[in-house]
Structure 1
Amino acid sequence: MIDPHQVSVFRPGLLDGQVVFITGGGTGIGFGISELLAELGAHVVIASRKADHVEHAVQTLAARGHRASAAVLDVRNAEQVKAVVQEIADRHGRIDVLVNNAAGNFYAPSATLSPNAWKSVVEIDLYGTFHCSQAVYPVMAAQGGGRIVSTSMTLHYRGWPLMAHATAAKAGVDALTRTLAVEWAPQRIRVNAIAPGPIPTEGVKKAFTPPADSGAADVFATAEEKMAEYARTGIPLGRWGTPRDIANMVAFLASPAGDWITGAIFVVDGGEWLSKGGRQGMGDG
């Protein structure tokens, strides 16, 4: 049976000839974005700190007949980012879309959060977004425009315990998005962000896994049952999101439909952040 959430709503060849640079594009939501944009005809350059992630992603897409290449990159290193962007521009002659998807998040009490833990997440999520955006600016400006789409979250809209580092960084991503959108509009560079809702990942599944000693006291015996119940009670649209849900919004913004959109942060979460029925600690966005 075909998964309706995996069927593309976009016309074939929509992004033919475009070059897309995606950080954190080898796994999870990032790979979902890489996959869809490659299906639509773009050459996707997938970047990650882990070579095995990007190499596997590139091989997977190439086996399907798509155009993809890999870049090993730490977005915290501004000089390394500039070098990779220059290499992409030299090889392909352009960069049409940058997707800032690299992120590093984990739960930790604010009172005991180490300086290195704080620095690591803020540098990946916020500094990395700025480094990559700044690096592609001269390329996009010279070619007459481009699109930048960054990954935000919804947790900082309401405050979220144990996520001070990530919420602070993503709030910065929102502010950066709006500022760059205004500043770079004369160069026809559209800058937007997407705030994903709960997408099942290994971390989310672990959060729903019952303790080994819970036994009959646990109403829901399996992680799958708990997740199904959360989708029913905590997400107004009644289901978990998929990487394709987020990829669809990226593709929309990368297409001509996004020509007059800049400085916007799009929440794609099934209404979860507005819901009063959700339990804290279970969202991915």
Structure 2
Amino acid sequence: MTATPAGSDLAGKIALVTGASRGLGRRFALTLARAGADVAVTSRTLDSLQEPLGEIAASGRAAFGVALDVTREESIRSAVAAVEERFGRIDILVNNAGCNIRKPALGVTWADWNTILDTNLRGAFFVAQAAARGMTSRGYGRIINIGSVTSVAGYAGLAPYGASRGGIRQLTMSLAADWGPQGVTVNCLAPGWFKTAQNAVLYEDAAWVAELSSRIPLRRPGQLGDLDGPLLFLAGDASAYV
């Protein structure tokens, strides 16, 4: 874990991170905890949250796990209500839950499309909506929607995923306009090429990694710690006008 960036003290804040059982979500949750926030984490099953809950607790912060299926409206409502009951409020939402199915566009089925869009876009909106009800009533909130390089660029084999992530970018701008007057900032953190469970198979191809790295100014793919600073900036008071 890298050092906590200056100006990113989140002491006394309550954060909710969806899709936090592994990968970026797990990293985000621990990063927020190490900056001083108490953190609620979600996954479809509570069993998959035991390790991240242990990491948060080991950092000295309160940890709370909730089962959440972002494709189900009632699950979203009950999960957010459970977090608010446990901590009293939600100050920071990291909308990270997502999925992908890699297929050529001609092979994408109706079910594939619905699975990806229902999880990545519809789910993100309704989680944000549920959390924002309390945030707007209190006049404070930080919502960070997790996008992707596919939010701004197109790639073969990723039509539904790219549509969902492009939608996240536009959704973020709309929600920022909606809730900004009530003191809630809404931003999109769109990582470039980072190795995660979703794309790990790509990184088994050394030639592909070399070609990818040649197009990145720092000549390497992103590492999880590279997102700590941007996350904490958007989650904290330093980004009050962003």
Q: Report the TM-score when normalising by structure 2.
A: 0.93
Contact 1:76-1:131 at 8 Å conserved across structures = no
Distance 1:9 1:16 in 2: 14
Larger mean CA deviation between 226-235 and 182-191 belongs to 226-235
Which segments of 5 or more consecutive residues in structure 2 lack a partner in the other structure?
none
2:42 counterpart SS class? strand
2:190 counterpart SS class? strand
Contact 1:149-1:192 at 8 Å conserved across structures = yes
From 211, 216, 222, the equivalent of 1:241 is: 222
User: Residue 4 of structure 2 aligns with which residue?
Assistant: 8
CA-CA distance at 1:180 after TM superposition:
0.8
CA-CA distance at 1:136 after TM superposition:
0.9
Shift of the 98–208 alpha-carbon distance from structure 1 to 2, 3 Å rule, reads closer
Contact 1:156-1:167 at 8 Å conserved across structures = yes
Larger mean CA deviation between 29-38 and 52-61 belongs to 52-61
User: Residue 86 of structure 1 aligns with which residue?
Assistant: 81
Contact 1:17-1:42 at 8 Å conserved across structures = yes
User: Residue 65 of structure 1 aligns with which residue?
Assistant: 60
1:196 counterpart SS class? coil
CA-CA distance at 1:172 after TM superposition:
1.1
Distance 2:62 2:174 in 1: 33
CA-CA distance at 1:7 after TM superposition:
2.7
Distance 2:178 2:55 in 1: 38
Contact 1:29-1:247 at 8 Å conserved across structures = no
Shift of the 19–122 alpha-carbon distance from structure 1 to 2, 3 Å rule, reads same
User: Residue 39 of structure 1 aligns with which residue?
Assistant: 34
User: Residue 90 of structure 2 aligns with which residue?
Assistant: 95
From 14, 17, 26, the equivalent of 2:21 is: 26
Distance 1:26 1:10 in 2: 27
Contact 1:33-1:243 at 8 Å conserved across structures = no
User: Residue 190 of structure 1 aligns with which residue?
Assistant: 185
User: Residue 282 of structure 1 aligns with which residue?
Assistant: none
CA-CA distance at 1:59 after TM superposition:
1.5
Contact 2:30-2:55 at 8 Å conserved across structures = no
Percent identity over paired residues: 30
User: Residue 114 of structure 1 aligns with which residue?
Assistant: 109
Larger mean CA deviation between 248-257 and 64-73 belongs to 64-73
Distance 1:202 1:83 in 2: 28
CA-CA distance at 1:165 after TM superposition:
0.6
Larger mean CA deviation between 24-33 and 62-71 belongs to 62-71
Distance 1:7 1:128 in 2: 32
1:160 counterpart SS class? coil
CA-CA distance at 1:11 after TM superposition:
5.5
Q: Report the TM-score when normalising by structure 1.
A: 0.80
- AA aligned opposite 1:106: I
User: Residue 146 of structure 1 aligns with which residue?
Assistant: 141
Larger radius of gyration: 1
Distance 1:130 1:105 in 2: 18
Distance 1:53 1:10 in 2: 32
Distance 1:121 1:149 in 2: 19
The answer as to 2:174 corresponding to 1:179 is yes
User: Residue 216 of structure 1 aligns with which residue?
Assistant: none
Distance 2:84 2:160 in 1: 33
The answer as to 2:221 corresponding to 1:252 is no
Contact 2:100-2:198 at 8 Å conserved across structures = no
Distance 1:208 1:247 in 2: 22
2:241 counterpart SS class? coil
CA-CA distance at 1:156 after TM superposition:
4.4
2:137 counterpart SS class? helix
User: Residue 130 of structure 2 aligns with which residue?
Assistant: 135
Kindly tell me the number of residue pairs found equivalent between the two proteins: 242
Shift of the 161–228 alpha-carbon distance from structure 1 to 2, 3 Å rule, reads closer
Larger mean CA deviation between 239-248 and 181-190 belongs to 239-248
Please list the CA deviations of residues 93-144 of structure 1 after superposition, one character each: whole Å capped at 9, or x if unmatched: 1110011000101311111211111100101100111010110122101222
Distance 2:226 2:73 in 1: 30
